[in-house]
Amino acid sequence: MSSQDEEPRALSLLFKTFFSKHWPVWVGGIILGILNILLFAVKSPWGASGGINNWGENLYDTLGIFGYDGITPVSAHYYGLLCLILVVGAFAGALLSKEFAIRIPPKGELIKGFIGGAVMALGAAIGQGCTIGSFFSGVPALSGGAIIFTIGLFVGVIVALKYLLWEMENRPGFSSGKSYTFLAVTKETGNWQVWLGGIVSAVIFIIAWFVAGVNGVLAWFIISGLLMGLICQRSRFCIVKAFRDPFMTGEADGSVGVMAGLLVTLVGFTAIKYFGIGVGDIPVRAIEMTWVYPHFWLRALIGGLIFGLGMTVAGGCAVGTLWRVGEGQVKLWMAALGFLLLSPISRKFIAAPLVDSLPHSMKFKSYLPDYIGYAGAFLLVCLIILIWYVFVKWNERTGKFSAF
């Protein structure tokens, strides 16, 4: 075989390595953790609920209701744009792997998607974050409130799973019925999806190139969003899966993938905070308190519990909802719609008065190194992750807590 024949074959094999089959979740978790560290180094860590909230605020600003005025446009809002490009990245990943299709489930599932998204919006408003900002980024940021939020997530997932099991046994007709699929292709057909995926990816890179001349940080958020969406879609990275599957099917792959991402992010975030690595003249204390929200302890617990309920019913967490939107899953379109419609309302009319009624002792910033030092905080988070790992692997082997 000539060298001219070998080069296209090598490129074909490289393409198949990335897009012929799904990646292990732990690979996705590690890469997402690295990208999260880079986001922090450039500006601030990964978040999702704030971006989706920006979508909703812009909608209400356009409609002239609820008193929203002068909201930052999605195109100029770091996290609003990051979330939007993440959807596009997942769309590109689905196209390049010939997995994109419009999938419409039965009516009951669409209703649960919308309700789950709305409940997630309420949980994020009360808990000041979602499974990304208050968990995947919050725990490595050494936030005490993030750990409490995580406990709330676990409780919410368990309660919601009990409801779903009850529904399956007592109301099986609610989520049953005819489903529809459009634009699906096979591995042997549908090369148009691969070409379209390549075009979409190229367009995003071109946009980032032009934006870089005006705002380099925003351009990096665009590139990160594209990569995050593609990585999430290829690895099936979803935090609700990490919390739900050990109690439902016993599988631990999703949990281990999230743990891998947490550990990588923990190392990077700790280094940035400990050494005060920042941009410009940002005070060291401001860097330390990045992604440490005033929600310790009751606010985080309530918010996490509500968010856990919502994401389990919807079938996708904040990031899981976004990349599944790009993949064409209409149930998660409904979840995203419920999230963006209810998020601004929840923040302004529900969470604000509720939080105002709480004493400061139930909603303050808790930075773990302030109490147990950096070494103690780092080891504590590692210990929590280790205990979680031992539990899910033991449960995977024994099935003790699977499906209760």
Which contiguous run of DSSP H or E holds residue 103? strand 102-104
In terms of Cβ atoms closer than 10 Å to its own Cβ (0-12, 13-18, 19+), residue 152 is: buried
Q: How far is 56 from 72, CA to CA, in rounded Å? A: 11
Does any domain span residue 276?
yes
Is residue 18 a part of any domain in this protein? no
Within a domain: residue 10? no
Q: Residue 371: which domain range?
A: 24-398
**pLDDT score of 10:** 86
Q: What residues of the chain score a pLDDT lower than 50?
A: 1
In the chain, the N- to C-terminal Cα span, in Å, equals 58
Q: Is residue 2 in some structural domain? A: no
Task: Give the Cα separation of 44 and 221 in Å (integer).
Answer: 10
What backbone phi and psi angles, to 5 degrees, belong to 72?
-60, 125
Length of the chain: 404
Sequence-distant (≥ 6) Cβ neighbours of residue 260 within 8 angstroms? 26, 29, 30, 33
Q: Residues 26, 30, 31, 32: is their CA dihedral positive or negative?
A: positive
Placement of tokens 């799973």 in the chain: 161
Q: What is the pLDDT of residue 9?
A: 81
What pLDDT score does 2 carry? Answer: 53
On whether residue 3 sits in a domain, the answer given is: no
What does the alpha-carbon distance between residue 356 and residue 346 come to, in Å, rounded to a whole number?
14
Nearest alpha-carbon partner for 133 in 158, 150, 118: 150
pTM of the model: 0.96
Q: Which neighbouring-strand residues pair with 296? A: 364
- Domains identified in the chain, total number: 1
Structure tokens, 56: 């909703």
* Residue 6 belongs to a domain: no
Max Cα distance, the chain (Å) = 75
Backbone angles phi, psi at 101, to 5 degrees: -165, 150
Element (H, E) at 189: none
Tokens standing for residue 35: 């990208």
In the three-class reduction of DSSP (H, G, I as helix; E, B as strand; rest coil), residue 295 is classed as strand
Are 64 and 299 contacting, i.e. CB atoms less than 8 angstroms apart? no
- Tokens encoding 273: 């905070």
DSSP assignment of 140-176: TTTBHHHHHHHHHHHHHHHHHHHHHHHHHHH-TTTT-
Q: pLDDT tens-digit profile of 297-340? A: 999 999 999 999 999 999 999 999 999 999 999 999 999 999 99
**pLDDT reported for residue 8:** 73
Q: For residue 349, tell me if it sits in a domain.
A: yes
How many whole angstroms separate alpha carbon 263 and alpha carbon 247?
23
pLDDT at 83 (0 to 100): 98
Q: How many CB atoms lie within 10 A of CB 345?
A: 17
Angle at 87 between CA 83 and CA 88, to 5 degrees: 115
| Residue 1 to residues 6, 8, 57, Cα–Cα distance (Å) | 7, 12, 59
**pLDDT at residue 402, as a whole number:** 87
Has residue 8 been placed in a domain?
A: no
Q: What does the alpha-carbon distance between residue 13 and residue 306 come to, in Å, rounded to a whole number?
A: 45
pLDDT of 404: 60
